Amino acid sequence: MATLKDVAALAGVSTATVSLALNGGPVNEKTRETVKKAALQLNYFPNKIGRMLNSGRSNTIELVILTSEAVPNIVRRTSLFYYLMEGILAVADENNLSMRFAVKSYEDDDVNAYFSELVGGRTVEGVIILPQFAQASGFTQVLERGKFPFVMLRPAAFGTDVSFVDMGNYEGARMVAELLTGCGARRLGIINGPATHVDAIERERGFTDTLLDRGAALVAKVNGAYTIESGFTAMQQMATKKNLPEAVFCANDYMAAGAIKFLTGAGIRVPHDVAIVGYDNNDMATAIEPELTTIDNRFFDLGTALATNLLALIKEPGRHLSTTIPPKLVLRRSHAPDADAGKARGHGTRRSRGR
């Protein structure tokens, strides 16, 4: 591997000149040419580690997803994160940054050590964190103490003393409740995710608050595990009780699919007998019958917001930035019998795997 020195030797100039020449510094255009030719000839590309050490900048950011072993697979590994990563990458690319990716479990008790090393290692300039669970953990202090730029994806309701992007779960669930009560439902149910999941907490809160505001009632609640099966059995449980809710909000599309599966199998029509709304606008939403009315989290946009804020923090540390990306209602056919007639407010169906 050729180094600066090699190029300098070949071009017959000093390493300083080569550095200047290659980085657009003030050198004679003729020497610049000579240097460039030498570099080309040696197939020289700068060793970035040398540059990093010197400049103190690694031009790298990291995404770390926190998970918990205490919870089923599907909750920890949402492929939706892939779209978020693409959002991060989009702004990283624009700014000539690389992105690192890591997954750490809260149960790895060295998670704090991980962040300490991250701070001291200087190998990334900032970190985007998806905490996922409302779990006590000292990593924020570690980061704050090291004055290390970081942004979390989590609800504003959890405190505004750090930088975060809020995906608007409360607002999204509110939209669901408004839609459903607007269609006339008075007795509603919820199939929620795990009780400690940050999104689940907010979705339930938004749904319930709005429901009551509207004079409707929450008559059934089951916590599922975000899986198709758990949606199926949750709905089964609800069905065994006296009277089914008129409408059920499922805190993700997997559970909604499971719920619909149970209902259809039991000869209960969706949405005629019971209306269903999901959350996430997962790819499967248009694969099932009826197509699922749901909430789009805009994961790509969340990614760009997260990255944009992180970059701002890297440039100007010491502030606390917060953004919320409001989710979008995606009207399809599972929430009301007349949905096809086209309700006033609809965005309509989007492409099969919208986002």
22 three-class SS:
helix
Identified binder of a copy of itself from the candidate list 12, 50, 159, 317, rule CB under 8 A: 50
Identified binder of a copy of itself from the candidate list 69, 94, 144, 289, rule CB under 8 A: 289
Q: How far is the CB of 143 from DNA (least distance, A)?
A: 19
Encoded one letter per residue, x for contact with a copy of itself by CB under 8 A and - for no contact, window 266-285 reads ----------------xxx-
What the block records as the tokens of 203 is 């979705």
Binding region for DNA (CB under 7 A): 1, 3-5, 12-17, 19-20, 22-23, 25-28, 30-31, 46-47, 49-51, 53-56
Tell which phi-psi region holds residue 261, choosing left (phi > 0), alpha (psi between -120 and 50) or beta: alpha
Cite the DSSP H helix spans in 183-223: 198-213
Q: How far is CA 349 from the centre of its chain?
A: 22
List the 275-277 sheet strands across, edge first: 217-223, 187-192, 247-250, 275-277
Q: From residue 38, how far is each of 21, 45, 101, 121 by CA, in Å?
A: 11, 11, 36, 34
Contact between residue 252 and residue 223 where contact means Cβ atoms under 8 Å apart: no
Amino acid identity of residue 138, one-letter, is: G
Q: How far is the CB of 45 from a copy of itself (least distance, A)?
A: 2
Identified binder of a copy of itself from the candidate list 133, 254, 262, 279, rule CB under 8 A: 254
Contact status: 314 vs a copy of itself (CB under 8 A)? no
Q: Between residues 55 and 160, which has the closer beta carbon with respect to DNA?
A: 55
Identified binder of a copy of itself from the candidate list 9, 22, 70, 103, rule CB under 8 A: 103
Enumerate binding residues for a copy of itself (CB under 8 A): 1, 43-50, 52-53, 58, 60, 73-74, 77-83, 85-86, 89, 98-103, 116-117, 119-123, 145-146, 227-229, 254, 257-258, 261, 264, 282-284, 286-289, 351-353
